[in-house]
Amino acid sequence: MKKSGESKIFLIIFVAIIILFIAFVLAADPDIIDSPGTKVGNSTNSTVTNSQNTTITTNSTNTNVTTSNNTQIINSNNTKIQDSNQTVITNSTNSTVIGSNETAIDNSKNTNVEDSKNTTIGNSQNTTVISSNKTSVDNSTNIRIVNSTNTTIINSTNIQITNSTNITVTNSTNITINNQNNKNVINKINLRIDKNCKEFIRGDTNADGIVDMSDGVRIFEYLYTNPSVSLNKEAADVNSDGKIDIADGPFLLNYLFGRGSAPKAPFPNKGCP
Ligand SMILES: [Ca+2]
Ligand SMILES: [Ca+2]
């Protein structure tokens, strides 16, 4: 009798272990395929495929979403969204969005968007957008836009834009734009446009950092007595008409004596034209 009782206990423990194991596997690795309206919370390694209206919530990590619509990712880490539509990512870190349409990212960190279109990023940090079209960034910091078109940036700081076209920047600071086309920059502050130019101050023809009489004299010297004298030729086009000639020296002197208008940018601070 004793032996039979022990066997029963062992059997119950064995079955309990199997049930716990199955429960653990289901909880740890939910696979959601072709399933509408699924909610997943506190999970790891979830895969969502061909599904609609999926919500991944609260403290989930390593979630993969592929070819799905209307997915919400909240308070999650390491989420990958691919070939999906209408994805919302909120309060999350380390999210990657590839080949997707209509992605909204809010209050998140370390987000990468690639080959995607119609992406909206708000209140976020450390965002990279590559080869994407129609990206809007609002109230965010540390943004990199590369090889992208139709990007709008508002109220943001620390922005690098490279090889991108059709950019509108409004009320933003610390922006670096490299090799861009069709830029449209409004209310710019601390804007630096790098076209491989050496920064200069218009009028500072001897490049000593100060615009004064000696710069006017240097123009006359270059034009009339010593053409080999050191002269910053971009700075010497003081009236910005595209050439250095008899008009530039008097233009500068008139300004210095308070009789004429100031040179056009870059002036009085260093910059590129
Ligand atoms: Ca000077
Ligand atoms: Ca000129």
Domain 197-273 has CATH 1.20.1640.10: no
Sheet strands (E) in 58-180: 60-66, 69-74, 76-82, 85-90, 93-98, 101-106, 109-114, 117-122, 125-130, 133-138, 141-146, 149-154, 157-162, 165-170, 173-178
Confidence (pLDDT) at 34: 67
Distance (Å) from CA 7 to ligand 2 centroid: 102
For ligand 1, the distance from its centroid to the CA atom of residue 256, given in whole angstroms, is: 12
Strand partners, 143: 127, 159
* 269 Cα: distance to centroid of ligand 1 (angstroms): 12
User: Which regions of the chain carry the CATH code 1.10.1330.10?
Assistant: 197-273
In the reported structure, the alpha carbon of residue 144 is separated from the centroid of ligand 1 by a whole-number distance in angstroms of: 36
Nearest ligand, measured from the Cα of 203: 1
Q: Please name every residue paired with 73 in a beta bridge, in sequence order, or none if there are none.
A: 56, 89
Q: Which chain residues have CB less than 5 Å from ligand 1, an ion?
A: 204, 206, 208, 210, 215
- Contact between 130 and 152 under an 8 Å Cβ cutoff? The reply is no
Nearest ligand, measured from the Cα of 236: 2
Burial class (CB in 10 A: 0-12, 13-18, 19+), 68: buried
d(CA 112, CA 206): 46
Cβ neighbors of 93 (< 8 A, separation 6 or more) are 77, 78, 108, 109, 110
The backbone torsions φ and ψ at residue 67, rounded to the nearest 5 degrees and listed phi first, read 40, 50
Cross-strand partners of 71: 87
User: What's the rounded Cα separation, in Å, for the pair 41 and 22?
Assistant: 18
What local confidence, expressed as pLDDT, does residue 174 receive?
84
Would you tell me how many other CB atoms lie within 10 Å of the CB of residue 114?
18
**30-194 CATH:** 2.160.20
Tell me which ligand sits closest to the C-alpha of residue 242: 2
Question: What pLDDT is attached to residue 160?
Answer: 86
Tell me how far apart the alpha carbons of residues 102 and 84 are, in angstroms, rounded to a whole number: 9
Tokens 């199997």 correspond to 18
Distance 224 CA to ligand 2 centre (A): 15
Residue 176: the pLDDT is: 81
What's the CA-to-centroid distance between 251 and ligand 2, angstroms? 9
Q: How far is the CA of 23 from the centre of ligand 2 (A)?
A: 79
Gap from CA of 254 to ligand 1 centroid (Å): 16
| Residue-by-residue pLDDT tens, the chain, 273 positions | 445 567 777 666 666 655 544 444 344 456 677 666 677 666 677 777 877 777 776 667 788 888 888 888 888 888 888 898 888 888 888 889 999 999 999 999 999 999 999 999 999 999 999 999 999 999 999 999 988 999 888 888 988 888 888 888 878 888 887 766 656 666 555 555 555 567 789 999 999 999 999 999 999 999 999 999 999 999 999 999 999 999 999 999 999 999 999 999 889 988 777
Residues of the chain with CATH 2.160.20: 30-194
Tell me how far apart the alpha carbons of residues 124 and 28 are, in angstroms, rounded to a whole number: 29
Q: What is the 248 CA–ligand 2 centroid distance (Å)?
A: 5
- The encoded tokens of residue 81 equal 């969204």
Tracing tokens 């880490």 back to the chain, one arrives at: 77
- If you search the block for the tokens 């670096």, which residue do you land on? 176
In the chain, which residue ranges form alpha helices assigned H by DSSP? 2-28, 213-220, 233-236, 248-256
**CA 192 – ligand 2 centroid, Å:** 24
Which ligand has the minimum distance to the alpha carbon of residue 238?
A: 2
